[in-house]
């Protein structure tokens, strides 16, 4: 890439610092870990691999990195791109072939979005493969904007307050998912991907679908950010600062037995007659 410009250098340092902070804050990677980095061929996963390879060099602990791409047999998928890129990097990698494309096209009616089913099939395959190769952590490229978008999607459409946690143990207990880019914003990742000239592979299955709920939420957040810069960051901080007693979930806070504290000091000051 040659010498970086001042802005490119600042951007690279910022992404590396933010990823390092997220890894440290949530204890995402430990000494001796084997981290399976899931590569889709998009800007986020390329940036994830790039940042983790840097952290591997400078971290005070030792951990392995293995890159894994899932070839879902989408028509026109350029199978040569990722192997060529990963060979040039010199990183260990695997290409997992699984025809989930045909399954999705068969089960999802024409005009309906395929993201949910596609994601579940892909996730299940990758979980299984991580277990097979002995990976102790599975790294995904979701960033701060993805997390905030997911929060609103769940609230608007599922009636639940949840997002994408920076670190998650899968339901089967056999996989720990980490999101080292949790503190990074999409705008920075896009700029980094542009100047690094990653060989982007577009998703022809779902990336071209219109009227996705996620796209609607993304546009809403982008409009908020234009009108009030910093709002997305503030929302993300809110996800890190949850106060159960100020919400309404009876499973998180015991509202039923809430009573006055008879031992508490009175708010009223005794008035002395003058």
Phi, psi of 207 (to 5 degrees): -65, -25
pLDDT band at residue 107 using 50, 70 and 90 as cut-offs = low
Q: 253 with 247: CB under 8 angstroms?
A: yes
Tell me the two tokens of residue 150: 């997911």
Q: Answer yes or no: is 203 a known binding residue.
A: no
- What does the pLDDT average to over 164-173? 91
Q: 55 with 26: CB under 8 angstroms?
A: no
What pLDDT, on a 0 to 100 scale, did the predictor assign at position 210?
Answer: 44
Tell me which residue has tokens 């015991």: 254
Cα 238 from Cα 232, distance rounded (Å) = 10
Cα 147 from Cα 129, distance rounded (Å) = 25
The pTM (predicted TM-score) of the whole model is 0.88
Q: Answer yes or no: is 115 a known binding residue.
A: yes
pLDDT band at residue 272 using 50, 70 and 90 as cut-offs = low
Percent of the chain past pLDDT 70, that is, above it, reads 86
Domain segments of the chain as ranges: 6-209
Q: Answer yes or no: is 38 a known binding residue.
A: no
Among 3.40.50.300, 3.40.50.620, 2.60.40.650, 3.90.550.10, what is the CATH number of 6-209?
A: 3.40.50.620
Cα 210 from Cα 65, distance rounded (Å) = 35
- What does the pLDDT average to over 182-187? 97
What pLDDT, on a 0 to 100 scale, did the predictor assign at position 213?
Answer: 87
pLDDT per position as a tens digit, 212-240: 788 999 999 999 999 999 999 999 999 99
What pLDDT, on a 0 to 100 scale, did the predictor assign at position 180?
Answer: 98
pLDDT band at residue 172 using 50, 70 and 90 as cut-offs = confident
Close Cβ partners of 232 (under 8 Å, ≥ 6 residues apart): 144, 145, 148, 185, 221, 224, 225
pLDDT per position as a tens digit, 109-124: 665 555 665 677 778 8
- What does the pLDDT average to over 135-147? 97
pLDDT per position as a tens digit, 93-103: 999 987 766 66
What pLDDT, on a 0 to 100 scale, did the predictor assign at position 97?
Answer: 84
pLDDT per position as a tens digit, 25-39: 999 999 999 999 999
Please name the helix (run of DSSP H) or strand (run of DSSP E) that holds residue 178, with its range, or none.
strand 176-178
- What DSSP state is assigned to residue 155? I
What pLDDT, on a 0 to 100 scale, did the predictor assign at position 204?
Answer: 57
Cα 138 from Cα 122, distance rounded (Å) = 13
Looking at per-residue pLDDT, the higher value among 4 and 105 belongs to 4
What pLDDT, on a 0 to 100 scale, did the predictor assign at position 266?
Answer: 80
Looking at per-residue pLDDT, the higher value among 204 and 54 belongs to 54
Phi, psi of 185 (to 5 degrees): -95, 155
CA angle, residues 53, 43, 188, in degrees to nearest 5:
85
Tell me which residue has tokens 């998650």: 168
What pLDDT, on a 0 to 100 scale, did the predictor assign at position 131?
Answer: 92
Q: 68 with 93: CB under 8 angstroms?
A: yes
């Amino acid at each position: 890439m040659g010498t970086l410009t001042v802005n490119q250098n600042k951007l690279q340092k910022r992404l590396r610092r933010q990823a390092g902070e997220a890894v440290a804050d949530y204890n995402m990677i430990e000494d001796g870990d084997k981290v399976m980095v899931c590569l889709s061929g998009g800007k986020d996963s390329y940036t994830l691999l790039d940042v983790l390879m840097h952290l591997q060099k400078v971290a005070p602990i030792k951990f392995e990195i293995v890159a894994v791409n899932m070839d879902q047999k989408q028509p026109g998928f350029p199978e040569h791109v990722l192997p060529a890129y990963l060979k040039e990097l010199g990183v260990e990698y695997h290409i997992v072939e699984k025809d989930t494309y045909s399954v999705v096209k068969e089960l999802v009616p024409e005009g309906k979005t395929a993201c949910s089913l596609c994601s579940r099939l892909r996730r299940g395959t990758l979980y299984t493969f991580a277990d097979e190769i002995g990976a102790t952590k599975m790294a995904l490229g979701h960033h701060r904007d993805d997390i905030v978008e997911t929060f609103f999607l769940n609230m608007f459409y599922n009636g639940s307050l949840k997002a994408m946690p920076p670190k998650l143990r899968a339901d089967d207990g056999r996989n720990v998912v980490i999101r080292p880019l949790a503190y990074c914003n999409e705008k920075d990742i896009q700029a980094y991907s542009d100047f690094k000239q990653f060989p982007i592979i577009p998703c022809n299955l779902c990336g071209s679908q219109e009227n996705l709920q996620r796209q609607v939420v993304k546009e809403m957040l982008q409009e908020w950010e234009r009108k009030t810069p910093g709002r997305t960051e503030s929302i993300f901080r809110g996800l890190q600062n949850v106060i159960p007693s100020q919400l309404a979930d009876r499973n998180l806070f015991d509202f039923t037995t809430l009573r006055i504290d008879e031992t508490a000091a009175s708010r009223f000051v005794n008035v002395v007659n003058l």
